[in-house]
Chain A
Amino acid sequence: MTFDFIEPVVFALLSIGVIAGGVAVVMLNRITAAALLMAFTFLCMAGMFVLLGAETIAAFQVLIYVGAITVLILYGVMFTKFSDSPRALFFQKQTPLAAIFVAAVAVPIVVVGTLSFTGAPPRAGGGDLPALATSVFTDFAFPFEIASVLLLAAMVGAIVLTRRDDPDEAAMRRRR
């Protein structure tokens, strides 16, 4: 006997984790809990990437989403005061409409997507680091540069947006 049954089991667990986490993020009232569960979702997603044989992407996933984005969002949560009563958290007016729309879009896509890609499983390649790096720095060099510029712009923009210029600092600058 072999370990073939492992992969589907792991996949099942991971997908349950992903979807449950996602739903929890949407439904939970406590935003810190939502943030933490989002991190959990990301971790499960990383697990899926590993299942798909994209270890590098998985590592980036954890590094960026869990390590950076979740923490940033926790910062946001902690710096902003929010009302905890469930009624206040949801749009009252547009919720049913939204539910209808989303369902209308989601159901066919999920069904079609699921049914149309049955059969041949994705080949689980080995570590994809060299291939990834090669194509990033050859075919996609220009988008890569653009992305770096975008990051820089975002960094500067975030700093400019969130800096509060305290008066005596400004006065100092004026005096200098």
Chain B
Amino acid sequence: MTVPLGAYIAVSAVLFFTGCAGVLVRRNAVVILMCVELMLNAANLALVAFSRKYGSIDERGSVFVVFVFVIAAAEVAVGLGIILSAYRNRPVVDVDEIHQMKG
């Protein structure tokens, strides 16, 4: 007996929405960044699972996972850069206290 695809999808979806909820409810920018990473990772799981099941031999789903890695790395680097520079101007990391762009 082996694990059906649906199980992987379920795990991925649950993790995704956990991260989503985190992005919505947390205030600390760093934590929000972490939650975004979780969401990306969930997407990766779904991609790999699907490429395993449906993908032809050339691993297209995994290729997309590689690109997601790239995006994630870039996103963390830039996101932390933004957080740090914002923190340098005003020592807060709570995203709801950084609302100078309010209309």
Contacts and interface: CB of A to CB of B under 8 A. Distances in A.
Interface of A: 4-5, 7-8, 11, 15, 18-19, 22-23, 25-26, 31, 34-35, 38, 41-42, 45, 48-49, 51-54, 56-57, 60-61, 64-65, 68-69, 72-73, 75-77, 79-83, 88-91, 94-95, 98-99, 101-102, 105-106, 109-110, 113-125, 128, 131-132, 134-136, 139-140, 143, 147-148, 150-151, 153-155, 157-162, 164
A18 B83 CA distance: 27
Contact of B80 (A73, A124, A164): A73
Contacts of B1: 4-5, 8
B72 A64 contact: yes
Given A56-B62, A99-B25, A157-B81, 8 more contacts: A15-B11, A38-B37, A52-B52, A54-B51, A102-B20, A115-B6, A122-B8, A148-B70
Interface in B1-30: 1-15, 17-22, 24-28, 30
Nearest to B80: A76
A138 to B, nearest CB: 8
Interface size classification for chain B: 35 or more
A148 B66 CA distance: 12
Nearest to B67: A147
- The secondary structure that dominates the A interface is helix
B51 to A, nearest CB: 8
A154 B34 contact: no
B33 to A, nearest CB: 6
B43 to A, nearest CB: 11
B5 A26 contact: no
B22 A26 contact: yes
Contact of B3 (A69, A77, A79, A121): A121
